[in-house]
Amino acid sequence: DAKTTQPPSMDCAEGRAANLPCNHSTISGNEYVYWYRQIHSQGPQYIIHGLKNNETNEMASLIITEDRKSSTLILPHATLRDTAVYYCIVRVGDAGGTSYGKLTFGQGTILTVHP
């Protein structure tokens, strides 16, 4: 799976949009971009994923650049409960073989939402 680079930390004011960037310049054509978050002492929570088109769900939007070398997760109206570590992961969609589809989390971005 391709490597990702994220800023170690970001701040956001409550009610404003939080834009979390991720670089994945070595991404392959069959690799998806996934986003998870982890609130302190809890299990990771799936947020959204995409291949090349922008995606939106009830939690967030995912914007993937045309060359697919970077992406941005957007939380449109951040709340205090969105304070968490956000992980950007790149992985193949059909991950058979020895990888078994395992997830590899990097260091992520610590997002702090303040009042």
User: Given the rule CB under 8 A, which residues bind another protein?
Assistant: 34, 36, 41-46, 49, 91-96, 100-107
Choose between 42 and 53: whose C-beta lies nearer to another protein. Answer: 42
Closest approach, Cβ 32 to another protein, in A, equals 9
| Dist CA 21 CA 6 (whole Å) | 6
Choose between 14 and 55: whose C-beta lies nearer to another protein. Answer: 55
Choose between 17 and 39: whose C-beta lies nearer to another protein. Answer: 39
Spatial contact of 105 and 22, defined as CB atoms under 8 Å apart: no
* Structure tokens, 104: 């590899």
